[in-house]
Structure 1
Amino acid sequence: MPAIRTLETSRKHPSAVREAPATSQFQPEIQGLRAVAVLLVVLYHLWPERLTGGYVGVDVFFVISGFLITSHMYREVQDGSTLGLTRFWARRIRRLLPASLLVLLVSLVAAFLWIPSTLWEVAARQIGASALYVQNWVLATDSVDYSAQHNDASAVQHYWSLSVEEQFYFVWPLLVALLLYIARRPAVASKLGPLSSPRGMMIAGIAFVGATSLIYSVVLTAQSPSVAYFVTPTRVWEFAAGGLAALIFNGRQYSGRLATSLAWAGVALIAYAALTFDSGTPFPGWTAMLPVLGTALVFICSGNPARMTPRWWLSRRPAIFLGDVSYGVYLWHWPLIVVLPFVLRHDLGTWEKLLILLASTLLAWITKLTVEDPLRRGRLLKKSLRAYLFAAVGMVLTVAMCFGLTSAAYSESSPDRSAELGACYGPGALDPANGCGPVIGKETPSPAPALVAKQNTQPLHPGCQADAAGTDIVSCDLGVDASQAKETVAIVGDSHATAWYPALETLAKDRSWHIKTYTKSSCPVTAAVRIQASEKTDSNQRDCLAWGQKVARELAGNKSVGTIFAASYSTAFSFESPDNESFKDPAVDGFAKVWRQWLAAGKKVVVFDDVPRTTGEYVPTCLARQQDALACAVPVNKAIPPNTAITNAAKAMSAEGVKRVVLRNQFCDNKLCYPVVGSMIVYRDFSHISAEYARALAPYIAKQLP
């Protein structure tokens, strides 16, 4: 940690707010704040339902980094030396990369040994991104990518904040160098007056950058909170706040009763945010000002070392020790949280969580003694060139091993046995007439779980499903060309309708269909308002209703479309009447109203029963970690609940001409609904059927069509 001047307290006039004289270059309360920050984060990750806002510990770290790095660079300017950018970055490499790369490599090995192969690709991608310090941008992209939103947390997901810090460490010195260059221009000095000094220019420039970042953070947090949480520009102002505290007060701290009260107020702001914020708090917009301001107040007003002041508490040996190893604790705790449940084969209990807390601290201490300190202070990386070579080799090695892990995941696939198994491959295994033996099959699943899970991140028809937000219609053309088709059909609904694309494409080959797609994430086509409990605002509800109305009108007026297929994950939603209409049963009547509109326009309406529900876990992952596939099966009464709205609506509308496609017997027998049928994996995630199973169901669908 760069040295910072500590200012001791004068014992005269205890009620005054005044500067304290400098006596040392070490501020123990900063190490104590690091201890507080890492404890908040670790306890939040272990008990998120109790310390709901513990994620603000990351923001405390950001302010500390801005304070220390800016102080260090300004001291170099005061001493008359140059910033020495290459030396600065080499110091960052020596300080941060050895432990970081070590934990990444250990996480990679742990993934190979204990984590199911279905998660290897995600783990490898995130470990590689973490090695290159772009993990935050990967997570920001995934947060708006529907196919990646439900990815399980990887063992290095916490590296997003380290990526933000490393990007800051790279850009911040360049900004300071630019400001100093401007300050030293005679033409500038004559116009700016007091601001033309190095300190004045740094304060003005950093304040401008910080204010711009804060405004952007507030705006983006309101528009896209999941993206705003991870991207670097929304966090720059937090570093800037620490930098401004360092420059404006320039090594001064305040003591006296009022100052001590303000320091306690800073602690209280951090604690309030940690205890009251939760996943629904808009963050890191204006709400992040609480922990940021609190941290700055502790810096500025901790000049009083008297007993029971914030500085006294933050300077105790346990706090200093935890602050010293806080970087290692942050690195180690999350891989333990993610990997240990796979090793133990059950969720973490209280004792396991306490063990993780202890083990993280122990591993951090050992890492500091054996890796961090020797490489930071030793001769091996003393020269800047060696430090850069170490970083390059470490990053390349880690990324190469990530490619190896991904390749290993897909090399597990068993050979295609479909021709050999015949009618017993896939849904035919549930037909007693085929005499196939175990429903799940005697062979290992083909394709392998990892390949089936890959369909979540690499969809067959990218861009053919509208996002949850917005009302624009996204439509693709599948099947045979419209000029050669005997009939044009449409498929409408949410992502469960998208999952039926492979089945309809198979039918299109036999029946010369041209297929028009009208699907949208989490949005069934219904006249009712669909409610999804996980949504924090009702904007998607409004968008879904408006989009559904547009699709209903467009298809009713499209004379080329003769048959409309509808599907939905309707058990995932509840339904309410819209403002302008009152339905007796919104779950059923909303679908019925749309279907009547299509029937009146001369269309045939074909409705897929909703597919059976699963355990809620990704089915390929469950299969990859369980020795017995039946452990991933679900009893029929739970897999097919009575509140299946789209099925109930199709039943109610059958007399009016709605055709219902019933495939219960291709998923379940009298007792269980299966994750694997005839050595074919049924689901690609927690609810969507796999492409292979959809194609295999095409003959069963064909039998029920006119």
Structure 2
Amino acid sequence: MPTAPPRRTDLDGLRGLAIALVVVYHVWFGRVSGGVDVFLVLSGYFFGSRLLRRPDGLPPARLPAELLRLVRRLVPALVVVLAAAAVLTAAIQPQTRWEAFADQTLASLGYYQNWLLATTVGDYSRAGEAVSPLQHIWSMSVQGQFFVALLLIAVLVGLIAGRHHRTALVDVVAVAFVASFWYALVTHGADPARAYYDSFARAWEPLAGVLAAAVVGLIRWPAWLRVTAATVGLVAILGCGAVLDGATQFPGPWALVPVVATVLIIFSGANTATGWRVLGVRPLVTLGAMAYALYLWHWPLLIFWLAATDRDAAGLLDGAAVMLVAAVLAYLTLRLVENPLRYRARPAPQQPAPDRASRGRARARVALAGAVALTAVALTAASLSWLGHVEDVRAKGAELQSLPTRDYPGGRALIEQVRVAELPMRPTVFEAREDIPVTTTDGCITVFTSSELIRCVYGSPGASRTIALAGGSHAEHWITALDELGREYDFRVVTYLKMGCPLNTEAEPRIAGSLKPYPECAQWVRTTMDALIADRPDYVFTTTTRPRVDGPGDMVPESYLGIWDELQAHGIAILGMRDTPWMYRDGFLFTPRDCLADGGDAESCGLPRAEALADHNPTLDYADAYPLLTILDLSDAVCRPDFCRAVEGNVLVYHDSHHLSATYVRTLIDELGRQLRTATGWW
């Protein structure tokens, strides 16, 4: 019968090293260290070792007890951190962030946080949201799903294979490992951002740990080979975060680096109690015991600190303070919550009846378990209640399409210089996130990870005159007005849109606001230009400017000129719209709706016009060189002469940090129509 192996202090220390890397890289470098991948392998190793040692496999009758054991191990600390994060969210974050927190609280408690993130990572309506204080719990969800799945597989294998259950389980795990690794390669190549959170793409990592547990007892390496394997593994783990960009390269083939390194360290200490002594030192072992709680605490503390101080990254001293506070809270969580509920004293045979102290400890454990359960119920109820409240508010969103012009003139208040009654702003801060172009809800804009061209027709579909709306999301938000004008004046609007991808000739474009390469944009632009030239619309409506990243104002990017050259060479006229201001403050984007929800007003949640726009439209400098270019500019309908406010004419200008709300665009229909009439002569 398999017996329990000696306690591996080196692996306890490896857990301590892994959590140290995770915390340090998150707090000071904003990178993925590979520590989470180490955790996944070790989780599979420890959990698999326990299952493989069972002489009778896992009978169905034992499944409830095993599941309860998992709950006792994983849930209490999670609930404590979620409760603390809920209090801090209510105290620090604007109410516009509470909905995302409620969604992710439910996902964390239900262990599907990774799937929630996977489904929203490409959601452009959420692209401007700040990083969630619960985002890190995706890996806990992956592990929880893995544990439950492996238990169910073990039960099923035991029923089918009988006394050969151990061999059969290893065979099933091996097949699952190969299948998951292949799936990871395919999905990572197709959609890296989604694959990062995908349980099936991640499963091969803990499965590698299970396979290591199955064969570690067969390893008989000489001392020099043990030391070599441990050294290579340790160096690979220490250097992983510095050399690899795990956020974009995992769980693809490069994830083999931390996974294989962890397996090497597992093998290096086979059949010993201590393994490699370098990792078995007491500080690392102690840190390893706190690893789960420290992982849970460090990220929300960092995010709340940055939110409270309105900073984008932690410095040396405040980052160290965040880590210290997280370590203290993790230690207290381990001692006061995790251990009391995880370990239950088992009376030995013939032991005398429990004394008063023992009974007191038992009652304290029951009380603690009850408090954790009640807190979990309260978090669930509060989250559902808030989500219901937000949905009730949004149910009135249909009104936004027919707001009375007199009460909600929006941009007309600037153009026509009309007096505006003091009325509640629309869309509200809760309605704003959904106040987006119809092309987004219709799926008529290509997502970040795709280079496919999607054409959709709006306005008057049967009309003989065509405007092609082409470019990124800043071209897209004009569809609200163009669609209405097309129906009224009998022209059709064909969309050629891609998230974050204005028409440009950059060979290696990057996503705005980051250094992340965006090869899909270059591929899409080439496909789109070929399609525009073949389709020959009467006009191509696109943006002509971008904000300066190195100073105030806006500019015409050099990469736009090649597009204009190509369109002009084929005799295609251009309607060039000056881009609307982006809400940059101190070099970082901010969201006016969050600012308003946090107590700001229309002016404090806006920007001086000189910071967002140059004194004159930079496109005018190119007018003589491009006779087929007609310049459109609605800046005076968005900004006052001195200020770009968050609210005009009782209408919220932006639904996020740099996209006009659909409601505000509706208030610009008349002015855009006036400029288009002059440009086209169609009416």
TM-score range, shorter chain: 0.7 to 0.9
Please show how residues 213-224 of structure 1 align to structure 2 within 5 Å: 213-224=180-191
Does the aligned pair in 1 maintain the 2:51–2:57 contact within 8 Å?
no
Residue equivalent to 2:561: 588
CA contact (8 A) 1:269 1:291 kept: yes
Q: Given the superposition, is the C-alpha separation of residues 317 and 98 from structure 1 closer, same or farther in structure 2, using an over 3 Å criterion?
A: same
Tell whether the 8 Å contact from 1:155 to 1:339 is kept in structure 2 after alignment: yes
Which deviates more from structure 2 when the two are superposed, residues 346-355 or residues 297-306?
A: 297-306
Instruction: Pick the aligned partner of 2:526 from 536, 546, 551.
Output: 546
1:406 partner SS: helix
Partner residue, 1:566: 542
C-alpha contact 2:38 2:259 (8 A) present in aligned 1: yes
Q: Relative to 1, partners in 2 of residues 1:568 and 1:133: Cα closer, same or farther, differing over 3 Å?
A: farther
SS in 1 for 2:640: coil
Displacement, 1:398? Answer: 3.6
Name the counterpart of 2:446: 466
Identity among equivalent positions (%) equals: 28
Specify which of 402, 407, 418 is matched with residue 383 of structure 2.
402
What SS does the corresponding residue of 2:631 show, helix, strand or coil?
A: strand
Tell me, what secondary structure is at the counterpart of 1:77?
Answer: coil
Quote the Cα distance in structure 2 between the aligned partners of 1:235 and 1:73: 20
Aligned pair in 2 of structure 1 residues 115, 142: CA closer, same or farther (>3 Å)? same
Question: Alpha-carbon deviation of 1:73?
Answer: 1.0
Where does residue 109 of structure 1 map in the other structure? 87
Q: TM-score, normalised by structure 2?
A: 0.82
Q: Structure 1 pair 549/381, CA: closer, same or farther in 2 (3 Å)?
A: farther
Structure 2 match to 1:353? 319
Report whether the alignment pairs 1:204 with 2:188.
no
Q: Which of 458, 474, 479 pairs up with 1:478?
A: 458
Distance 2:393 2:311 in 1: 25
Q: Does 1:364 align with 2:340?
A: no
Q: 1:156 and 1:375 mapped to 2: Cα distance? A: 23
The match for 2:291 among 318, 326, 348 is 326
Q: Which of 24, 37, 46 does residue 27 from structure 2 map onto?
A: 46
SS at match of 1:476: strand
Alpha carbons of structure 1 residues 218 and 72: separation in structure 2 relative to 1, 3 Å: same
Conserved 8 A contact 2:508-2:518 = no
Contact 2:547–2:612 at 8 Å: present in 1 too? no
User: Cα gap change, 1:551/1:521 in structure 2, threshold over 3 Å: closer, same or farther?
Assistant: farther
Report the CA distance shift for 1:154/1:456 in structure 2 as closer, same or farther (over 3 A). Answer: farther
1:421-478 deviation line (CA, Å, top 9, x unaligned): 9388422443584466xxxx96663222232123469976421212345554323333
Q: Deviations over 1:159-195 (max 9, x none)?
A: 100010011011112223344445438xxxxxxxxxx
- 1:598-651 per-position Cα deviation (integer Å, ceiling 9, x unaligned): 54xxxx643322112321223322333363543443343431359988x35873
The 5 A counterparts of 1:97-176 are: 97-176=75-154
1:527-573 deviation digits (Å, cap 9, x = unpaired): 775823557556414422332223313431xxxx6555333675599
Query: Structure 1 residue 315: deviation in Å?
Result: 3.2
Distance 1:28 1:83 in 2: 33
Please tell me the residue identity of whatever aligns with 2:665: A
Instruction: Note the residue ranges of structure 2 that are not aligned, 5 or more in a row.
Output: 345-361, 551-556, 678-683
The 5 A counterparts of 1:667-706 are: 667-706=638-677
3-state SS of 2:204 partner: helix
Contact 1:525–1:591, Cα closer than 8 Å, also in 2:
no
Cα distance 1:651–1:631, how it changes in 2: closer, same or farther (>3 A)?
farther
Distance 1:179 1:649, change over 3 A: farther
Q: Which residue of 2 aligns with 1:269?
A: 236
Counterpart secondary structure, 1:312: coil
CA distance in 2, matches of 1:87, 1:364: 27
Larger mean Cα displacement after TM superposition, 604-613 or 562-571? 562-571
Deviation sequence 1:109-161 (CA, Å, 0-9, x none): 33233212222222222221111111111212222333334432111111100
Letter in 2 for 1:363: L
Q: Distance in 2 between the 1:182 and 1:569 partners?
A: 66
Q: Which residue number in structure 2 is paired with residue 577 of structure 1?
A: none
What is the rounded CA distance, in whole Å, between the counterparts of 1:423 and 1:607 in structure 2?
31
Structure 2 counterpart SS, 1:613 = coil
**Structure 1 residues 64 and 352: alpha-carbon distance in aligned structure 2, compared to 1, 3 A threshold:** same
Counterpart of 1:23?
none
Whether 1:500 and 2:469 are equivalent positions in the alignment is no
Q: Which residue is 1:87 aligned to?
A: 65
Q: The residue matched to 2:576 in structure 1 has which SS?
A: strand
- Whether 1:651 aligns to 2:623 is yes
- Mapped to 2, the partners of 1:688 and 1:639 lie a distance apart of 14
AA partner of residue 45 (structure 1): H
The CA RMSD over aligned residues, in Å, is 4.0
CA distance in 2, matches of 1:255, 1:444: 77
Aligned to 1:72: 50
Please say if residues 444 and 497 of structure 2, whose CA atoms lie closer than 8 Å, have aligned partners that are also in contact.
Answer: yes
d(CA) in 2 for partners of 1:530 and 1:659?
Answer: 28
1:492-540 CA-partner distances (Å, limit 9, x unpaired) = 3221222112122343454354433332223334677582355755641
Distance change (3 Å), C-alpha of 1:219 and 1:564: closer
Instruction: Summarize the Cα distance change of 1:667–1:47 in structure 2 as closer, same or farther, 3 Å threshold.
Output: same
Structure 1 match to 2:300? 335
Q: Which moved more, 1:406-415 or 1:32-41?
A: 406-415
* 1:665-698 C-alpha deviation (Å, 9 max, x unpaired): 1223343333332332222222211111111111
Task: Flag structure 1 segments of 5+ consecutive residues without an equivalent.
Answer: 7-25, 186-196, 575-583
SS for the counterpart of 2:495 is strand
| Partner of residue 406, structure 2 | 422
Q: Secondary structure at the match of 2:575?
A: strand
Contact map agreement 1:456 1:685 (CA 8 A) in 2: no
- What letter corresponds to residue 611 of structure 1 in structure 2? T
The equivalent of 1:608 in structure 2 is 577
1:633 corresponds, among 600, 606, 611, to 606
Alignment length (residue pairs) = 641
Q: Tell whether the 8 Å contact from 1:682 to 1:690 is kept in structure 2 after alignment.
A: yes
2: CA distance, partners of 1:166 / 1:381: 27
1-side partners of 2:615 and 2:569: how far apart?
Answer: 23
Residue 312 of structure 1 corresponds to which residue in structure 2?
277
Q: Does 1:295 align with 2:262?
A: yes
The aligned amino acid for 2:15 is: R
Give the match's secondary structure for 1:531. coil
The answer for the alignment partner of 1:34 in structure 2 is 15
Cα distance in structure 2, aligned partners of 1:572 and 1:466: 25
**TM-score normalised by L of structure 1:** 0.80
Give a deviation string over 1:322-359, Cα, whole Å, max 9, x none: 22221111111111112223334445443332222111
Distance 1:704 1:178, change over 3 A: same
1:60 aligns with 2:38: yes
Measured in 2, the distance between the counterparts of 1:397 and 1:684 equals 31
Distance 1:530 1:329 in 2: 39
* Per-residue deviation, residues 190-215 of structure 1 (Å, max 9, x unmatched): xxxxxxx4443333332222122222
Structure 2 counterpart of 1:661: 632
Encode CA deviations 1:278-333: one digit per residue, 9 max, x unaligned. 25762222222221222222223236989xx9743433333232222211111111
Residue type at the aligned position of 1:353 = G
Given the superposition, is the C-alpha separation of residues 642 and 432 from structure 1 closer, same or farther in structure 2, using an over 3 Å criterion? closer
Aligned pair partner of 1:445 in 421, 425, 441: 425
Amino acid at match of 1:567: T
